[in-house]
Amino acid sequence: MTEPFEPRIIAFICNWCTYTAADNAGVGRMEQPPNVDIIRVMCSGRIEPAFILKAFALGADGVIVSGCHPPGDCHYSNGNFKTFRRMPLLEQLLAQFGIEKERFHWGWISGAEAVRWAQLTHEFTERIRALGPLNWSRQLESKEE
């Protein structure tokens, strides 16, 4: 029971920018916390809000969404527009579900910003560590009280 809390973080990142940054961060031997599990998708516009909800429901303590900088970096020209239209609404939704806004980060990291990716994973992991576990599955366990 006294094992220290290790945050479980799921990062949905786009193939063309943020994944390249993460890859470069690895190739460049930048130190990154092992808490972040990356799920590579072709475009941040492909990331359905359902993915993020499912990540939280299945035990993620934090979720990262990252794609190409708008307006011009998107490989598909405007996939990231879909992202920045959806994510603010998802933020409101998560707040109504009682999930702290610090547990969800969305933004942009280009292929040239490997250092920024490494920084983000560090900062985000520590932020989640400070918040503690989310443990969403506990929600349905208590029947009455």
Partner 1 sequence: MAGNGKLKLGLYWAASCGGCEIAVVELREKILLLDEAAEILFWPVAMDFKVKDVEAMPDGHLDVCLFNGAIRTSENEHMAHLLRRKSKVLVAFGSCAYEGCIPGLANFFEKSSILRRVYLEVPTVENPEGIIPQPVTPVPEGEIEIPHFYNTVKTLGQVTDVDYFVPGCPPQPHQIWAVVEAILSGQLPPKGSVVGATEKTVCDECQRIREEKRIKKFYRYHEIIPDPERCLLEQGIICAGLATRGGCGALCPTVNQPCRGCYGPPPNVVDQGAALLSAVASVVDADTEEEAARIVGEILDPAGTLYRFGLPASTLHRARM
Provide, rounded to whole angstroms, the least separation between the CB of residue 58 and partner 1.
9
Q: Does residue 84 interact with partner 1 by CB under 8 A? A: yes
| 109: exposed, middle or buried (Cβ count in 10 Å: 0-12, 13-18, 19+) | buried
Provide, rounded to whole angstroms, the least separation between the CB of residue 98 and partner 1.
3
Q: How many residues bind partner 1 (CB under 8 A)?
A: 31
Q: In the set 5, 28, 59, 85, which binds partner 1 (CB under 8 A)?
A: 85
Q: In the set 5, 28, 37, 92, which binds partner 1 (CB under 8 A)?
A: 92
Provide, rounded to whole angstroms, the least separation between the CB of residue 145 and partner 1.
6
Residues 74 and 46: beta-carbon distance below 8 Å: no
First to last CA, the chain: 23
Provide, rounded to whole angstroms, the least separation between the CB of residue 62 and partner 1.
14
Q: Does residue 88 interact with partner 1 by CB under 8 A? A: yes
Question: Do the strands 9-14 and 36-41 form a parallel or antiparallel pair, or are they unpaired?
Answer: parallel
Q: What number of CA atoms fall less than 13 Å from residue 66's CA on the CB side?
A: 28
Smaller CB separation from partner 1, 48 or 102 = 48
Going by C-alpha positions, the residue among 143, 5, 145 that lies closest to residue 61 is 5
The total of other beta-carbon atoms located within 10 Å of residue 44's CB is: 31
Residues that bind partner 1 (CB under 8 A): 45, 48-50, 53-54, 56-57, 70-71, 81-82, 84-86, 88-90, 92-93, 96-99, 136, 139-140, 142-145
